[in-house]
Amino acid sequence: MEIEIHLKINKMLGDVKVDKSYYDSFEMMKIVKGMSLLDLLTEIGFKYDETITIVNGKSVNIEYIFNNEDSVYVLPLLVGG
């Protein structure tokens, strides 16, 4: 069974496996219900510990299971400015 999330990938992360449109804005993506953050990042070609993922405005941990209509933003993990 599938659910829909809205995915955006920060441009600084560069091109990986997903369509370029995900670098411009939040685009709908169908995923398998029960998918965790780690599963998603692995599928689209990122290492969990090199990214920070914000779901509905909050950073989440590796075990997070997506809900329908989640807004998911993947950014590079940085330690400071």
Q: Are 53 and 75 in contact (CB under 8 A)?
A: yes
Question: Distance between CA atoms of 80 and 60, rounded to whole angstroms?
Answer: 19
Rg of the chain (C-alpha set): 12
Task: Select from 11, 21, 32, 69 the one that contacts other proteins (CB under 8 A).
Answer: 11
Q: Report, in Å, the least distance between residue 20 CB and other proteins.
A: 15
Q: Does 59 bind other proteins (CB under 8 A)?
A: yes
Q: Does 44 bind other proteins (CB under 8 A)?
A: no
Q: Are 41 and 74 in contact (CB under 8 A)?
A: yes
Q: Which residues of this protein are in contact with other proteins, per CB under 8 A? A: 10-14, 49-50, 52, 54, 57-62, 73, 75-81
